[in-house]
Every structure is written in structure tokens, then in C-alpha cells.
């Protein structure tokens, strides 16, 4: 299928936002043309769905595809499993960059997270289209338009609650579970239930599978097929979506030009539960729940010798790394250029160092960009939706350009 469109229409029609957004008149003044007898106030938030409001978002041509998938016989007939939903967004002015960018959403969200923001500012997709990139946006297998017909293996859980979103994403400074939360300033609006921007954000959460093993196996089945069709690309992920570039770096590294991860939720051997600060065992293969290609090889994750490093505090979490005389590497993953970007007020600022430390231990040379060190301050976990999101997009763009110079 093919269409020429602009980003707010995709966001609003896909999600059916309720409520109104306020406090964004200045940014909307630069992005919306008003027809006769239409005031700017009538084109804020969901009101901008009106035919009287013309979007000035970055135009593009849109095609969509389902990649991968296979038939499984059932009592009802042949069902399709493991397909990825992929949107291809081509700049109207033509592609200017040599490699595409492919966006992977986080848990509880879908590909719309990369489109315009809940308060109707430009999102990452617009930024990269403006800079001449061919952009691909996924709904990963088992999520949204990539939902699985395999109802036995892909049981569902909730995407989020208002309380989880407030404490972990939009106003972590109020729950104050880690000291850096007090630096959070960039969420638009109050960040609480009843605020129209928060309500728009919360409306975007959808169920996801509770079976992480099944989900990861299905993504690795179809992910490399997608990359073979597209070619070498830069993979941009958020949160738990970062497990997908890890799997593709492991299975088909020649097609991954670089792995760019915003608040990567791949803490080795552990995960945070609840609102984000209570540790639990997770990812027994290090960065994934499914097997990775270690050297020397192992047949089971129990062959990894592990130890906990560092004193665990709310502001600086301890890490689990390998120990002993044999430190196994991950040569495929280590061969892919990797960068993590972490907001100064995100819970990830307390534990993303564990991701970097393990990547170094398994043979990689990862970059870690702490946004606060660049003067990009006040960001929480959903930095790509916050007020300074385009500054962060520019950091990603600059990193890609530096990698391209090395080729």
C-alpha cells in the first residue's frame, strides 16, 4: 500500500486520542496553518483532527509491508505467525542519506511512539525524514499491527497504568525513588492523569506479550529477513525494544551499520520491576532471554560464571558480570557499533553503566552518551517525546554521520 501523508494524522487516527492538549500554542504556531474562521486554540491537541487544521509536519510517501511470517496448521486452518509490521517512510524530496534508519519501539507502546509527540510537536520520524533518511518504523511481532495469531504462546499483559507511567516516566520526581529523578523537567504538561497531554500519552499504551522468550524468538526469525530486504541500516531503539538490535547484531551483524539505543532496557542478567527500581532476575543469556553466540560456545546459560560488582544504591546500581578464568565474548554483537543515550533524570542513569560494562567485557567498544554531559538536561525515560526531543534526535544524527565517515 502507498500513501503521501504527514505525521500527526498517523498519530491521531491510530490512537483515537481523547481530551485536549494545552500549553503548546507557540510550537503549534510554527507547524499548523489555520483556514478562515479557525483560531489557533481550535487546532490544539485532538482538535487538530479537524479538516480546518492543516498540518505542517514533514511530508513523506508511505508504504507498509508485513515481513517474514510463516504458516502454521491449526484446527481452524493455516494461520500466519511471526510477521513484522513495517512502515516505509520516504522523504518527498528524495532520499539524501546512504543508509536507512529503522525504529524499534519499547514495551507497551507501538511504532507510533516515533511519530509526533502527545502534545503534537514533531517526533523523531519527522526529524530524520527532514534530514533525508529513508525511515522504517516497526510494530514488532506480537504487538499492535504485528499481533500474533499464536494465542497459546503469546499471552498478553497490560502495557502500563496511569500510576506506573507517572512514577516511571512522566513525573518520577514525585515518587522520588532515585536521587536523579529530581532533575526531571522536560515532560510537557503536568505529567499526571487528567492532564490532556498525559492522557494522550497514556492512551497510546497497548497490551504486550508476557512471554518474552516467544517474542524474542519470533523477532529473530523475521528480523534478519527484513534486514536482508532493506540492506545495511542503522537501528534505533527505545527501552526494551533494544533487545531486538541485540538479537539482529548476534544473528546478522553484516546488516547492522550501528545500534543506537535510548535508555536501553537490556541490563545484563537483571531487570527492574514495578515502577523501575526493584531488581529481579532476567535475561539469563546476558542481553536476552534466548541464546546468544558466545565464544567459547556454550549450550546453556548456566555455563556462564557470574558475580555481582559494586555497591547497590538507589543512585548507582550494582552490576552482574562474568567472572573466573574464562570470560566468554560475544563476537558478533561486539562487532556492531553501539551507543546508549541516557537522560540525566531517567532511572536508566542509575544502571545503564551495567550495559556498557558488559558490552566491554564481551569484546565490544560501546559509546555511552549521557545527555546531561552535552547540556541536554532534564530528561526522563521517554526522552524522545519530551520538550527537547529534537535536540536528542540531532545527537543521534551526529553519531550516525560520524559512523558513516568511518566506512
406 vs 93: CA distance, rounded Å = 27
Which H helix or E strand runs over 137? strand 135-139
Is there a catalytic annotation at residue 147? no
Grid coordinates of 402:
560520524
Which listed residue (21, 110, 239, 346) is catalytic? 239
Task: Please report the sign of the dihedral spanned by the C-alpha atoms of residue 164, residue 170, residue 171, residue 172.
Answer: positive
296 vs 81: CA distance, rounded Å = 33
Q: Which among 101, 151, 146 has a CA at the least distance from the CA of 128? A: 101
Task: Please report the sign of the dihedral spanned by the C-alpha atoms of residue 186, residue 192, residue 198, residue 201.
Answer: positive
Contact residues for 268 (Cβ-Cβ < 8 A; gap 6+):
283, 286, 287, 319, 320, 321, 354, 355, 358
Contact 233, 102 (CB under 8 A): yes
286 vs 309: CA distance, rounded Å = 15
Q: What share of the chain is helix, strand, coil (3-state, %, to 5)?
A: 35, 25, 40
Grid coordinates of 65:
509491508
209 vs 155: CA distance, rounded Å = 5
Helices (H), 204-324: 212-230, 243-251
31 vs 50: CA distance, rounded Å = 15
244 vs 250: CA distance, rounded Å = 10
Residues labelled as active-site residues: 239
Amino acid at each position: 500500500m502507498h500513501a503521501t501523508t504527514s505525521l500527526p494524522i498517523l498519530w491521531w487516527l491510530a490512537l483515537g486520542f481523547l481530551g485536549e492538549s494545552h500549553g503548546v500554542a507557540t510550537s503549534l504556531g510554527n507547524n499548523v496553518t489555520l483556514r478562515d474562521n479557525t483560531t489557533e486554540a481550535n487546532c490544539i491537541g485532538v482538535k487538530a483532527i479537524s479538516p480546518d487544521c492543516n498540518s505542517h509536519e514533514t511530508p513523506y510517501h508511505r508504504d507498509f509491508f508485513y515481513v517474514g511470517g510463516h504458516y502454521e496448521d491449526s484446527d481452524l486452518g493455516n494461520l500466519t505467525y511471526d510477521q513484522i509490521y513495517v512502515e516505509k517512510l520516504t522523504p518527498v524530496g528524495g532520499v539524501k542519506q546512504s543508509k536507512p534508519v529503522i525504529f524499534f519501539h519499547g514495551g507497551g507502546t507501538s511504532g507510533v511512539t516515533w511519530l509526533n509527540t502527545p502534545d503534537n510537536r514533531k517526533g523523531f520520524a519527522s526529524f530524520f525524514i527532514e534530514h533525508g533518511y529513508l525511515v522504517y518504523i516497526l510494530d514488532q511481532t506480537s504487538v499492535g499491527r504485528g499481533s500474533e495469531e499464536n494465542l497459546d504462546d503469546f499471552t498478553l499483559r497490560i502495557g502500563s497504568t496511569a500510576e506506573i507511567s507517572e512514577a516511571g516516566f512522566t513525573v518520577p520526581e514525585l515518587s522520588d525513588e532515585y536521587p536523579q529523578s529530581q532533575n526531571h523537567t522536560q515532560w510537557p504538561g503536568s505529567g499526571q492523569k487528567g492532564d490532556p497531554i498525559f492522557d494522550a500519552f497514556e492512551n497510546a499504551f497497548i497490551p504486550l506479550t508476557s512471554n518474552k522468550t516467544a517474542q524474542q524468538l519470533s523477532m529473530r526469525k523475521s528480523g534478519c529477513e527484513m534486514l536482508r530486504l532493506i540492506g545495511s541500516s542503522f537501528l534505533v531503539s527505545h527501552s526494551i525494544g533494544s533487545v531486538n538490535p541485540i538479537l539482529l547484531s548476534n544473528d546478522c551483524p553484516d546488516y547492522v551499520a550501528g545500534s543506537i539505543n535510548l535508555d536501553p532496557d537490556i541490563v545484563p542478567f537483571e531487570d527492574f520491576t514495578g515502577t523501575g527500581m526493584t531488581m529481579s532476575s532476567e535475561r539469563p543469556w546476558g542481553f536476552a532471554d534466548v541464546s546468544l553466540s558466545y565464544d567459547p560456545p556454550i549450550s546453556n546459560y548456566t555455563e556462564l560464571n557470574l558475580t555481582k560488582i559494586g555497591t547497590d544504591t538507589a543512585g548507582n546500581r550494582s552490576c552482574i558480570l562474568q567472572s573466573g578464568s574464562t570470560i566468554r565474548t560475544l563476537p558478533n554483537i561486539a562487532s556492531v557499533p553501539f551507543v546508549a543515550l541516557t537522560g540525566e533524570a531517567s532511572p536508566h542513569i542509575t544502571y545503564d553503566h551495567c550495559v556498557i560494562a558488559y558490552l566491554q567485557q564481551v569484546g565490544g567498544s560501546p559509546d555511552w552518551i549521557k545527555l546531561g554531559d552535552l547540556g541536554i538536561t532534564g530528561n526522563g525515560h521517554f526522552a524522545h517525546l519530551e520538550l527537547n526531543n529534537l535536540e536528542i534526535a540531532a545527537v543521534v544524527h551526529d553519531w550516525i554521520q560520524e559512523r558513516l565517515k568511518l566506512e
